[in-house]
Chain A
Amino acid sequence: MGRYILKRILWMIPILLTVAILVFTLMYFVPGDTAQIVLGSSATPEQLEQYREIHGLNAPYIVRLGSYLGSILHGDFGMSYIYSTSVTADLLARLPRTFIIALGTVIIGVIVGVPFGIWAAIKQDTIADRLILVTSLIGASMPSFWLGLMLVILFALKLHVLPAFGIGGPQYYILPILANGVAGFASNARLARSSMLEVVRSDYVTTARAKGVSERKVILEHALPNALIPIITSAGSCFGMMIGGTMVIESVFSIPGIGMYMTSAISNRDYNAVQGSVIFIAILFSLCMLIVDLLYAFVDPRIKSQYEGKKRRKKHE
């Protein structure tokens, strides 16, 4: 198992370097002159040339790529063209806010969504089940930023109980997390429900009942671990959705996190900042996926023994 984790972490390095190359290349070929954008239309040709010289913008593609990758390996994402600040420092300063929103979203999505889905499955065809099913269907069909705006109208503008925008105390995070978490809640509850419904019909659950095991234990110890397997499998894409949602939600609530940093960098054409944020998010996302994979191995012994390389048998599933 330890060897597998190490291999997975080492494998992240070439993947992330390729992401860096990809993003750098894409940004390199975006039309427009960085110096012109930064200095504005009033700049003289001499000023532009000087700017390019300072920031190494005149060097050929390969040289610029090489030096960029070199500095990334040292944890340095370069300087923001617009603010002349260190992108790495900017990102690290914004990380906690994004992290709070992402964590809150995951809690609503997974820690609330999955149990609700399982509960719905156990109570199949009751009112509780229908209610959860309809709620999650509607939740999955709503743009999270629209829900955010609606929550602002209701709780901030009409009821005046929560702040609408910006950062401050914990109350500033309630609406963003709620708005972003509903989609995760919806998709996890739906998935958990259908996977639980499939599992409770399987033979081994009947076996457990035939053993005289209590219904609680049948559900918690026999059905649930098996139902978690497909839930964890799709948790990766769910994380992606939540992180993607966070980027939009931050701009709805004017929360200066990584997402808003990136979107404003895009509109300012601050390419170093864009590249930095993309790679930074890719790193965070890859770490999430690593955790998902490890959880997967933890829950499913069939996967675990594959990782451990004991028996490599073809899986027919």
Chain B
Amino acid sequence: MKDKNEFLQVKDLVVEYTSEGKIVHAVNKVSFSLERGRTIGLVGETGAGKTSIAKAILRILPEPGGKIVGGEVFLDGEDILKIKEKGMRKLRGRKISMIFQDPMTALNPVKRVVDQIAEVVRTHNSKMSAVEATAEAIKMLEKVGIAENRVREYPHQFSGGMKQRVVIAMALACNPDLLLADEPTTALDVTIQAQVLEMINELKKDFNTAMIMITHDLGVVAEVCDDVAVVYAGEVIEYGTKEDVFDHPAHPYTKGLFGAIPDLNSHVKRLSPIEGLPPDPSDLPEGCNFSPRCPYATDECRRGEINAVEAAPGHTCRCCNIKAQEVQK
């Protein structure tokens, strides 16, 4: 089943957290794949398990509590979940790196900005001197638009947008092959959002980086992604190219997401939100996780495991009623 052309392949990834005796099923058998230079968007609500997927790939789940329970993650044909911690450390920051969600807390408050970037450069280039690493870090910071006269300041002297740029510079400092971007624009103003996205896009092109873009913003997906995986309650419920998913959404949840976006071209009095709330990940419903909120749910949906079916070639959907819905449509 392993495809040699695929750069990254995530197969049946399962992540659990234990908290006060309860088991939280954060990620349940998630699979997707990604080629070099392409971007996949993981879309879903807050708490759907998107960040846990990314942290599991980097193997930096919070300890104690978070644990990868099952699955495989192939990077260039090697299962990185089986690598020893020491070898994994060589991948982190160099081959795979991550842009964190909250720039306010992602930077160490007591270290100078330039040193935080030089650290990652030096960690992976042991022959480099401290001076060279610093020069490299300054170059990187300039690339994301931070002037050299500010690089020796501390994070608290930076604005939110600047901090996010620093976080991005840090992630890209070693030209990673795989970039995990966890809501890189959520904490930013709209104008800065656009700049940051453009920057990420350009840097990605320069280095032919593969990227996983985690977001709940479908606009961001439209702008930067090639493929889309819709995540709901720790499962990928719909997966395909951006065009497939945007133009022919198959899963009721995906349709609901698009129904909740304001559209300037059509005059709708009210947006149509999805009724109800996502299920409690420590107490998932039997059968389809979306069934309690799904307008099309039948008894069949509330039994057993729901398998992914192809809605079109390369476009899968985890729903047992696709055919039925298409009739309705």
Contacts and interface: CB of A to CB of B under 8 A. Distances in A.
A and B touch in the complex (CB under 8 A): yes
Interface of A: 124-125, 201-204, 206-214, 221-222, 225-226, 229, 299-302, 305, 311, 313
Interface in B129-168: 154, 156-157, 167
- Residue of A202, A211, A311, A313 with most partner-chain B CB within 10 A: A211
Contact of A207 (B62, B94, B108, B157): B108
Interface in B62-120: 62, 64, 89-94, 97-98, 100, 102, 105-111, 119-120
B241 interface: no
Given A211-B93, A305-B154, A305-B156, 14 more contacts: A204-B108, A207-B106, A207-B167, A210-B58, A211-B92, A211-B123, A212-B124, A213-B123, A214-B89, A225-B110, A226-B108, A229-B110, A302-B109, A305-B157
A18 B123 CA distance: 55
A211 B170 contact: yes
B89 A212 contact: yes
A128 to B, nearest CB: 15
Per DSSP, are chain A's interface residues mostly helix, strand or loop, or mixed?
A: helix
A210 B92 contact: yes
B194 interface: no
A212 B94 contact: yes
B271 interface: no
A302 B154 contact: yes
Interface of B: 55, 58, 60, 62, 64, 89-94, 97-98, 100, 102, 105-111, 119-120, 123-124, 154, 156-157, 167, 170
Contacts of A209: 60, 92
A98 B220 CA distance: 67
A210 B100 CA distance: 10
A221 B58 CA distance: 21
The 5 A-B pairs of least Cβ separation, nearest first, read A212-B93, A212-B92, A203-B105, A211-B93, A211-B120
A221 B108 CA distance: 10
Contacts of B123: 211-213
Contacts of A311: 157
Query: In this complex, which of A209, A229, A302 has the most chain B Cβ atoms within 10 angstroms of its Cβ?
Result: A209
Nearest to A203: B105
Nearest to A210: B98
A299 B110 CA distance: 7
B256 to A, nearest CB: 31
Contacts of A214: 89
A214 to B, nearest CB: 6
Nearest to A302: B156
A301 B60 CA distance: 28
A301 B102 contact: no
B102 A203 contact: yes
B120 A212 contact: yes
